[in-house]
Amino acid sequence: MNDTKKVAFYTLGCKLNFSETSTIARKFTDEGFERVEFEEYADIYVINTCSVTESADKRFKTIVRQAQKINPDAFVAAIGCYAQLKPEELAAVDGVDLVLGATEKFKLTDYLNDLSKNDKGEIHSCEIDEADFYVGSYSIGDRTRAFLKVQDGCDYKCTYCTIPLARGVSRSDTLENVLDKAAEIAAQDIKEIVLTGVNIGDYGKGEFGNKRHEHTFLELVQALDKVEGIHRLRISSIEPNLLKNETIDFVSTSNSFVPHFHIPLQSGNNEILKLMRRRYMRELYVDRVNRIKEVMPHACIGVDVIVGFPGETDEHFIDTYKFLQELDISYLHVFTYSERDNTIAATMDGKVPVRVRRKRSKMLRGLSVKKRRAFYESQIGSVRTVLFESDNKDGFILGFTENYVRVKAPYDESLCNTLHTVKLTHIDEDGLVRIIFQSEDNIIARAI
């Protein structure tokens, strides 16, 4: 009789959460558990939570119900940021058996000696100032690309953000460990690594448990570029004040780093940036974008922006809209401001009505569609390298170019997880760019 316990995982939130879920999942398999998909029958369901947005909070209950519907007797564990911030709230959700805070989530298997259902979730949390040590992680096996965690926590005090309360102080993996993990990933035929963390531009702080920087982010990038077997390295979200010109210039000539940057802006109005306690003004942001486009005209630049922040008037919003409209960027990630407990912003005057927040969000999402379309159009006729993913999407296979153009071609299983030189031909009705493949002798039509 097979008594191997089955475990399933569900991840909410950012690339950092995905990297940590994958690492925790590997520990389960190393200890004899069988990992299955979340939609399948399992003995244990683990939900890695997020608390950046209100919607991520609300989705938690829905996901717990999904697990209970599949197996009413399953043991349900909650970990992650929301579990650290609101452990009592999660523990009270019907069906939740265990809640682990920031310092305990990597020890999850230690708490699974008894899988009996509890009337109320058992909590093992900590004071966030105890989260001062670093646990490395990376995702693998879940996607074509791997998310490699290089940094955790944040020392910034943005008035809207709960992440420092959920993850603690800024701290980094050692350079040696990062390089070792990158080599491990490359050895498993993963073509692309995405660097992730809470504030990756602050890399080097807390590298050996102290407050000073042992290395800089630029030194990290330079060292990773020398690791053999890595085809692509991609920088995830990085603060504009920490993205130095030297890093931009290095990426423009590197062996592996791709011309794609995601740089949080949050507001295009300096008054709102001050209320947010961001560490730059919009003029610095313009300088960063201009520098990137100067040395990499084909680079893709993504932008995070928050609408409806307390005190944001119609004039402030229009200022942001026009600023983004004129900026040479490629797409937007738009977040509708929601009040978070224990943040300064939640107590500020000038609350923006929810309907106004939604209207502004809709306007910026529309602008994002136009920006992405314009960027894609600027790439038509160019020759790029695409990394194909594995899924069959209605008879097509999808992938991303080095500069983050999403492309499609007729599905061919042999293309999965492979890199190919392609010519971008035209934009389809669904907004994706169709391609033709390049060969040494001629151009082979594959997507007409």
Beta bridge partners, 434, equal 408, 426
The answer, yes or no, to whether residue 448 has pLDDT greater than 50, is no
Query: What's the DSSP call for residue 144?
Result: S
Beta bridge partners, 261, equal 301
| Cβ-contact 134, 206 below 8 angstroms | yes
CATH number of 6-126: 3.40.50.12160
Query: Among the residues of 71-130, which ranges form H helices?
Result: 81-85, 87-91
pLDDT band at 421 (very low <50, low <70, confident <90, very high): very high
Q: Which sequence spans correspond to the domains of the chain?
A: 6-126, 129-258, 261-375, 383-444
For tokens 């983050």, the residue is 404
DSSP characters over 308-377: S-TT--HHHHHHHHHHHHHS---EEEEEE----TT-SGGG-S-PPPHHHHHHHHHHHHHHHHHHHHHHHH
Please tell me the distance from the alpha carbon of residue 217 to that of residue 151, in angstroms, as a whole number.
10
- Nearby residues of 142 by Cβ (< 8 Å), 6 or more positions away: 18, 22
Q: Phi first, then psi: give them for residue 437, nearest 5 degrees.
A: -85, 145
Short-list 351, 278, 353, CA closest to 310:
351
pLDDT in tens, 321-337: 999 999 999 999 999 99
pLDDT in tens, 156-187: 999 999 989 989 999 999 999 999 999 999 99
CATH number of 383-444: 2.40.50
pLDDT in tens, 26-76: 999 999 999 999 999 999 999 999 876 666 667 889 999 999 999 999 999
Please tell me the distance from the alpha carbon of residue 285 to that of residue 409, in angstroms, as a whole number.
36
Please determine whether the domains at 129-258 and 261-375 fall in the same fold group of CATH.
Answer: yes
Please tell me the distance from the alpha carbon of residue 198 to that of residue 276, in angstroms, as a whole number.
17
Element (H, E) at 290: helix 282-295
Please tell me the distance from the alpha carbon of residue 256 to that of residue 192, in angstroms, as a whole number.
9
Say which CATH class 261-375 falls into. Answer: alpha beta
Please tell me the distance from the alpha carbon of residue 273 to that of residue 282, in angstroms, as a whole number.
8
Q: Residues, the chain, total? A: 448
Beta bridge partners, 335, equal 306
pLDDT in tens, 369-414: 999 999 999 999 999 999 998 888 888 999 999 999 999 989 999 9
What per-residue confidence (pLDDT) applies to 443? 37
Tell me if the pTM is above 0.85.
Answer: yes
Say which CATH class 129-258 falls into. Answer: alpha beta
Please tell me the distance from the alpha carbon of residue 435 to that of residue 381, in angstroms, as a whole number.
9
Q: What tokens does 138 get? A: 């990376």
From the number of C-beta atoms within 10 Å of its C-beta (0-12, 13-18, 19+), residue 26 rates as middle
- Residue 13: how many CB atoms within 10 A of its CB? 18
What per-residue confidence (pLDDT) applies to 59? 86
pLDDT in tens, 13-36: 888 989 999 999 999 999 999 999
DSSP characters over 153-222: ------TT--HHHHH-S-EE--HHHHHHHHHHHHTTT--EEEEE-SSGGGTTBTTTSSSSBSS-HHHHHH
Q: Phi first, then psi: give them for residue 8, nearest 5 degrees.
A: -130, 150
